[in-house]
Amino acid sequence: MKFNVNFSSMKYKEVKEYILSIEDIENVFNNSEKENIINRLLQDKRKTIQKLGVKMSNILESKEKEIQRVRKMYDFDRSFGDFRYVAGVDEVGRGPLAGPIVAAAVLFDSKVVEDKDLILRANDSKKLSISCRKELSLIIKERALAYKIIAIDNKQIDEKGIAWCNNQVFLEACAGLTTRPDLVLSDGYRIKNYPSLNEFVIKGDTLSISIACASIIAKVYRDELMADYHEKYPNYGFDRNVGYGTQEHVLAIKKFGIIPIHRKSFLTKILE
């Protein structure tokens, strides 16, 4: 791509297309070159071109802030000591009236972190859009050294209780990693009977990169599973409520009754 382009000889549409192409292949230019382009846009006599310069400047500023935010999440995982293989584990589906509880464990090599490898936008999965979660889930699976997803169904939840199942999915997800972690960070509470080193982190999916990534792939997996259940049981709105006790879901239970994926132990008051 041509760097010393003469904006003054270009029409607004041509300049806009050029700027958009920079956003698409931003690694072609270093920060100094991008600042040079922004300055030339801002110095253009046309206000429409100046606005493009402001827009590009805002994009770069937001990108830098996001890099620093995510960097802190990687640094957080390294703050527990000189551990190379750090895994994060998190669950989704503890509270729904239907469907399984799902946990994921995601392991990274903490010694290999370059800016190009940062998983930008990683955060508590509930704070992300559906499309963002799906996109990030694929990126996480590609960049993680190892990951494992475990689900425990509603029958075991009714039989063993949600607390036991919550701990068990954590245990099984960690045990299923193909690379053994030196340290496991768990969201919310310490994993009972975990045989190796484990630290728990309150609100870990906003602080720890490995826990945030575990949160994302677990939620994408469970949401897609509940969407499949919606095809089989269309009266309950599982494509929207993913099994949680929304008004729509509760009314459907009262009207159509329970189905094989409902957690009977969670429905005692509803069925009274």
For 64-110, what is each residue's pLDDT tens digit?
Answer: 899 999 999 999 999 999 999 999 999 999 999 999 999 999 999 98
Q: What does the alpha-carbon distance between residue 3 and residue 11 come to, in Å, rounded to a whole number?
A: 17
Q: What does the alpha-carbon distance between residue 76 and residue 151 come to, in Å, rounded to a whole number?
A: 28
Which domain, by its residues, includes 146? Answer: 85-266
Q: What does the alpha-carbon distance between residue 71 and residue 27 come to, in Å, rounded to a whole number?
A: 18
Task: Report whether pLDDT(22) > 80.
Answer: no
Do 139 and 255 sit in the same domain of this protein? yes
Question: pLDDT tens digit string along 54-72?
Answer: 888 888 888 889 999 999 9
Q: Is residue 1 part of a domain?
A: no
Q: What does the alpha-carbon distance between residue 212 and residue 246 come to, in Å, rounded to a whole number?
A: 25
Q: Is residue 36 part of a domain?
A: yes
Q: Which residues are annotated as a binding site for a divalent metal cation?
A: 90-91, 187
Residue 27's pLDDT band, with cuts at 50, 70 and 90, is: low
Do 16 and 106 sit in the same domain of this protein? no
Task: Report whether pLDDT(1) > 50.
Answer: no
Q: Which residues are annotated as a binding site?
A: 90-91, 187
Q: What does the alpha-carbon distance between residue 96 and residue 158 come to, in Å, rounded to a whole number?
A: 12
Do 149 and 105 sit in the same domain of this protein? yes
Torsion, CA 249, CA 250, CA 255, CA 258, rounded to 10: 80
Do 211 and 182 sit in the same domain of this protein? yes
Do 21 and 90 sit in the same domain of this protein? no
pTM of the predicted protein model = 0.84
Q: What does the alpha-carbon distance between residue 63 and residue 138 come to, in Å, rounded to a whole number?
A: 21
**pLDDT: which is higher, 269 or 178:** 178
Domain-ending residue, one of 57, 78, 99? 78
Domain-ending residue, one of 24, 49, 78? 78
Query: What is the amino acid identity at position 85?
Result: Y
Residue 23's pLDDT band, with cuts at 50, 70 and 90, is: low
Task: Report whether pLDDT(200) > 90.
Answer: yes
Range from 27-36, 155-164, 225-234 carrying the lowest mean pLDDT = 27-36
Do 138 and 175 sit in the same domain of this protein? yes
Please state the domain count of the chain: 2
The pLDDT of residue 159 is 98
